[in-house]
Amino acid sequence: MKLNKNSGVDNALIQEASRHASRGPQATLYHLLFPISLISSFAVFYLLPLLVSLYVVSAPFAEFIRAYLNWSVPVIALSSFFSYSWARKKILAPYIRSLINDTRPNE
């Protein structure tokens, strides 16, 4: 199930699914999604290139990586927001599906 503005899922349904997710079996993961996304983005887009530039690659490429590190903050911020959004949608999708199925009239 895709959760975006065109999917027909309203904010009240997403809010209710968020309440269910925050009390469900994955509540700890749901509450730690943003810090996890920040840490993982920082590790992938800052620490990994830094370690590669220090220990692995040749001098010209290492200088390029160090120049990248000077402006990597927007990359880290965008990747953390996108990964948080993706993971949140993945966690909320089953709850939204169950809420939609529960609110449909009996046929």
Domain boundaries along the sequence of the chain: 27-103
> What mean pLDDT, rounded, does the chain reach?
86
Q: 79: helix, coil or strand?
A: helix
pLDDT of residue 7: 58
pLDDT value, residue 44: 95
pTM, full prediction: 0.76
Q: One-letter amino acid identity for 87? A: A
Which of these, 70, 88, 84, lies nearest to 39 by C-alpha position? 84
Q: Cα–chain-centroid distance for residue 25?
A: 19
pLDDT tens digits, 21-52: 999 888 999 999 999 999 999 999 999 999 98
Summarised one tens digit per residue, pLDDT across range 51-65 is 988 888 788 888 888
Tokens 């999708």 identify what position?
Answer: 93
How much of the chain exceeds pLDDT 90, in percent?
48
Could you tell me the two tokens for 87?
A: 């993971």
User: How many angstroms separate the CA atoms of 41 and 34, rounded?
Assistant: 11
Confidence of residue 107 (pLDDT cuts 50, 70, 90): very low
In the prediction, which pLDDT does 5 show? 54
Contact of 96 with 13, CB cutoff 8 Å: yes
Q: How far apart are CA 17 and CA 57, in angstroms?
A: 47
Q: Could you identify the residue written with the tokens 């925050």?
A: 22
Cα separation, 2 vs 97, whole angstroms: 11
